[in-house]
Structure 1
Amino acid sequence: MGWLGHPLTVIAVVVLLLNDHLFKALWPGPVTGKLSDFAGLIVAPPLLNLLIRRPRVSILLTGAAFTLVKTTAVGAVLASEAWTLVWGPSRVLADPTDLIALPALYAAWWTWNRPGARAVRLARAAVLIPVTVLAVAATGAADIFRPYSAYAVDVVDGMIVVSTRGGSSMGPPATNFASSDGGNSWSSWAVPVPSLPRTSACVPDQPDRCYRIVPDRLKVEESRNGRWVTAWEISPSGQDRLTRAHATKFPEDTEAVASLGIAIQKFSGGYVVVVANGADGIALRDTAGAWRRLGWAEDGFDYSNAVSLSAQGRVEDSVPMAALLAALAAGLVTLGCGVRRFGFAAAALTLWAGVWLFYTGVNTPILFDPYAVLLAVVLVPVGGISTMVSAVRGGIRIRAWAISTATAAVAYYAVMMPFSAWSAGWLGYYSLASGLSIVLGIAVTSAGVLAVIKLNTRRPAPPLQPHADDPDQ
């Protein structure tokens, strides 16, 4: 425990706490990143020594583990999983340049060989053990970014205030934004506002003139002559396009793109209506009655930053790989109808599963899933070679090879085509593109299968029989 209480170790603990909880957020970059590595290598050996009671071994193990984590993807993954198991979602990145911090182990060795007053060391250690554990754990915390979302709006002290959430988990928390000029300019607002959004509001001094949002839609209705009529809306297909534009890699991080809150402010020349539209920002009705969408800006919202409804739609990153997997399946099924062997079916399934496992293994919240990738490295070559051998032994025709290859190629473009059409605005809904891609993929595969079956059912024409009147008979 005395080693942990050395003044240099105490300084390293303080540096870890300040760097990981403050400096990285204020000045992100290689300097603050490497600073945590230097401080961590000074702190980790005495902390490890509490368990194994071997100072030299503690220093060597710390250096070996640090090198493994920073130079290999497997080491980084194992470290990420270890931190996640103990401290929650975490991510450790492999970066060989971090090895520049290894000389800090000499400082750890030096502190072990330069003990101070025993009583002081023990007193420090008794306090520092829990603090040190938390400081070291902070380095493993994952920087999780959630998209910004405007979820409520209110009028406070004569100002329009929009409540927001989201941002980096390692950066400053999301703030509120306020406007005193009817939404023309915005600034940060530190005073909290009610967290529950209002779904309807009336114009001050005009209780019969009210506005309300429509649940799950980008739509506002106003009361007119005793009934509700549409005041502003984005069409369902346009809302679908905006939802895709604000989609995140992981569905659990996605924020709603819909009208969530509304407020009205009396203003010179009339009144303004502000609607919180989730990840899309806000919508604003000015005193002239014109509605416009405002996208996210550094200091609030801006008209020019609103996502254009005429821009190309954003297709999910997984779609091309899904199309490739569908094309591989189409080609293998088509070829299998020409081989007609159980061994080929098993080999083809092994090959396809290997490709799928590799894709899922390298697309995880951490670097990759080592178990899935290692299994894929085995399955792909085994399945590929077995598929080729089984097809050759089955006496597959050259034409069948050509048909299966063409089927796979056409299937890929058939699956991708509806998404390209949706992105260009030719299809209204993303779900329609998804359904159409499935139908086209099945149709192309069926055509390839029928072509191979027809090829196999053809028989050579029987030889011509000589005519009875032939003089040569």
Structure 2
Amino acid sequence: MSPGGSRSALAWIGHPLTLAAVVLLLLNDHLFKPLWPGPVTGKLSDVAGLIVAPPLLNLVVRRPRVSVLLTGAAFTLVKTTTIGAALATEVWTLVWGPSRILADPTDLIALPALCAAWWAWEHAGARAVRLARVAIVVPATVLAVAATGQSETFRPYSAYAVDVVDSAIVVAIRGGSSMKPAPTGWASSDGGKSWVTWVVRVPPRPRTSACVPGRPDRCYRIVPTRLKVEELSDGHWVTAWEISPAGQDRLARAHRPKIVEDAEVVESLGIAVQRLPTGYVVVVADGADGIVLRDVSGAWRRLGWADSGFDSSSAVSLTAPGRYDDSVPMVALLAGLAAGLVALGCGVRRLGFALGAPTVWMGVWSFYSGLHTPILFDPRTVLLGVLLVPAGAAAVVVSAVRGGTRLWAWGIGTVTTVATHYAVMMPFRAWSAGRLEHYSEASGLSIALGIAAGVAGALAVITLEIRSRSVLGRA
């Protein structure tokens, strides 16, 4: 039997080292990680997975050396690139359910485990007794490999409270990966210049106002639901720092994840004042946007999320293009298609067209939505679209031809489709470029322009149809 034969491939999985790695994966992902989450259990999964994956892949590839190299290359791509991690997340979610895989170059320390996997291959015998063992091991192996991706979840980071503890400013945070839990907070003793992890929980009720120690006349407070801080000056509260409502709207959408239910607010939630020998600093927790800090010189600046706490270079720029909902392009496409079909239908007016047009629209909707899902794609929805579009298009074309539809009706229908699509999209692009202040303005204008373009197309076909019949009647 050849080295790549089925018997040898099964024996590789049945090797004691592979079996031990399978057991370690199952215990680590279902017992150790929930009890002791952190880098150690995370690396254990990587080591065991790199031992188990090559023999499992070899069942399909039938080339042991290629299986090891493919495993190493895929692992490196996933752990060192955002694209690789995102693709792995989509594939794992498609196959095993909601998952989250993060790029982490430190995980490459587990790559030498591939040498152990290769050693197991070279010492894998072809004894018949292992075949019986493999019959039980293969399903467990597949489940064990899947466990790592399936057990990981991720929520956006959020700074929700600030306090002063032992002369240090402490920002309480939540969110992050369940496989690599974030610290409960970050602390700074030098006015926000450097940060260290903080493991003691801050009181759950954030402070909404704070005064400089020893200066009851120098106080600050946050404005609920806003990115805004007010300062007590001569007995009156005046604005010390704020982001306009339009800017806050753009930031909220910049931090909005694909799964909206997991979104964290972007608004001022808590405030604290830290006294330093050279003055004082004010720190405000701003939810998903990070924090805003007033330094000893009186300058305010936003600090975004960084690997070592907070940093001004990580803050989302207010001048960056605004991020509109991922569903907007699909809505624009479907609105344009619907408007074009309605305009063309005003010139056809046959039962076959009335049945075919909605079928085409439903097919395009099914195909497009099937390709744009939180997972990689939905094959059943895509297949439904592939079946509906040709059937509906055939009914539309045959009905139009039999009805003697004029070329200008086809032209107006096509122009209406394009015009409506751009009428829906342009307000959102204008908002993204900063030419419209509020997202709601873009939404309202998009609806109004889309309806106007669609109605104009339908009226153009109806008007020309009436004129054409009038001319034919006089002739």
Please, what TM-score do these two structures have when normalized by structure 2?
0.74
Q: Give the aligned partner of residue 187 of structure 2.
A: 178
Distance 1:356 1:115 in 2: 49
- Give 2:453's match in structure 1, choosing from 417, 424, 444: 444
Change (3 A) 1:423 1:341: same
Distance 1:246 1:7 in 2: 45
Change (3 A) 1:90 1:307: closer
Q: Give the aligned partner of residue 471 of structure 2.
A: 460
Distance 2:347 2:125 in 1: 68
Change (3 A) 1:270 1:330: same
Distance 2:18 2:419 in 1: 66
Q: How does 1:336-351 map to 2 (within 5 A)?
A: 336-351=345-360
Distance 1:457 1:324 in 2: 29
Matched, 1:292 2:301: yes
Distance 1:449 1:114 in 2: 70
Q: Give the aligned partner of residue 381 of structure 2.
A: 372
Matched, 1:426 2:435: yes
- Give 1:14's match in structure 2, choosing from 24, 31, 35: 24
1:244–1:315 CA contact under 8 A, matched in 2: yes
Alignment-mate amino acid for residue 324 of structure 1: L
Deviation at 1:139, TM superposition (A): 3.6
Q: Give the aligned partner of residue 275 of structure 1.
A: 284
Deviation at 1:452, TM superposition (A): 0.1
- Give 1:233's match in structure 2, choosing from 222, 234, 242: 242
Matched, 1:327 2:336: yes
Alignment-mate amino acid for residue 13 of structure 1: V
Matched, 1:189 2:188: no
Q: Deviations over 1:220-270 (max 9, x none)?
A: 122334443222111100101111211211212222111111111112233
Distance 1:175 1:398 in 2: 67
Distance 1:139 1:110 in 2: 31
1:312–1:423 CA contact under 8 A, matched in 2: yes
Q: Give the aligned partner of residue 61 of structure 1.
A: none
Q: Give the aligned partner of residue 86 of structure 2.
A: none
2:282–2:293 CA contact under 8 A, matched in 1: yes
Distance 1:461 1:114 in 2: 84
Deviation at 1:28, TM superposition (A): 9.8
Matched, 1:161 2:177: no
Deviation at 1:38, TM superposition (A): 4.7
2:90–2:374 CA contact under 8 A, matched in 1: no
Distance 1:268 1:314 in 2: 42
Task: Give me the CA root mean square deviation.
Answer: 3.9
Deviation at 1:462, TM superposition (A): 7.2
Matched, 1:37 2:53: yes
1:41–1:108 CA contact under 8 A, matched in 2: no
Distance 1:220 1:359 in 2: 44
- Give 1:206's match in structure 2, choosing from 192, 211, 215: 215
Alignment-mate amino acid for residue 213 of structure 2: P
Q: Deviations over 1:278-323 (max 9, x none)?
A: 1111101122222111112221111222222122212333322221
Deviation at 1:132, TM superposition (A): 9.0
Matched, 1:149 2:161: no
Q: What SS does structure 1 have at the residue aligned with 2:150?
A: coil
Q: Give the aligned partner of residue 370 of structure 2.
A: 361
Q: What SS does structure 2 have at the residue aligned with 1:450?
A: helix
Which 4+ residue blocks in structure 1 deviate beyond 4 angstroms? 3-8, 15-29, 31-34, 38-42, 76-84, 101-104, 106-112, 131-137, 461-464
Q: Give the aligned partner of residue 47 of structure 1.
A: none
Q: Give the aligned partner of residue 73 of structure 2.
A: none
Q: What SS does structure 1 have at the residue aligned with 2:292?
A: strand
Distance 1:344 1:202 in 2: 72
Alignment-mate amino acid for residue 430 of structure 2: A
Q: Deviations over 1:353-383 (max 9, x none)?
A: 1111122222223332333222222111111
Q: How does 1:210-229 map to 2 (within 5 A)?
A: 210-229=219-238
Change (3 A) 1:8 1:143: closer
Percent identity, aligned pairs only, is 59
Change (3 A) 1:28 1:307: farther
Change (3 A) 1:32 1:317: farther
Q: Give the aligned partner of residue 385 of structure 1.
A: 394
Alignment-mate amino acid for residue 182 of structure 1: G
Distance 1:431 1:115 in 2: 64
Q: How does 1:388-427 map to 2 (within 5 A)?
A: 388-427=397-436
Distance 2:132 2:346 in 1: 77
Q: Give the aligned partner of residue 73 of structure 1.
A: none
1:332–1:404 CA contact under 8 A, matched in 2: yes
Deviation at 1:173, TM superposition (A): 2.9
Q: Give the aligned partner of residue 70 of structure 1.
A: none
1:296–1:302 CA contact under 8 A, matched in 2: yes
More deviation, 131-140/402-411: 131-140
2:49–2:145 CA contact under 8 A, matched in 1: no
Distance 1:14 1:453 in 2: 72
Change (3 A) 1:305 1:402: same
Q: What SS does structure 1 have at the residue aligned with 2:347?
A: helix
Please, what TM-score do these two structures have when normalized by structure 1?
0.75
Distance 2:447 2:126 in 1: 63
Deviation at 1:386, TM superposition (A): 1.1
Matched, 1:303 2:319: no
More deviation, 408-417/18-27: 18-27
Q: Give the aligned partner of residue 95 of structure 1.
A: none
Q: What SS does structure 1 have at the residue aligned with 2:405?
A: coil
2:94–2:377 CA contact under 8 A, matched in 1: no
2:100–2:154 CA contact under 8 A, matched in 1: no
1:12–1:40 CA contact under 8 A, matched in 2: no
- Give 1:264's match in structure 2, choosing from 257, 260, 273: 273
Distance 1:302 1:253 in 2: 24
Distance 1:77 1:306 in 2: 27
Alignment-mate amino acid for residue 245 of structure 1: A
Q: What SS does structure 2 have at the residue aligned with 1:301?
A: strand
Deviation at 1:154, TM superposition (A): 1.1
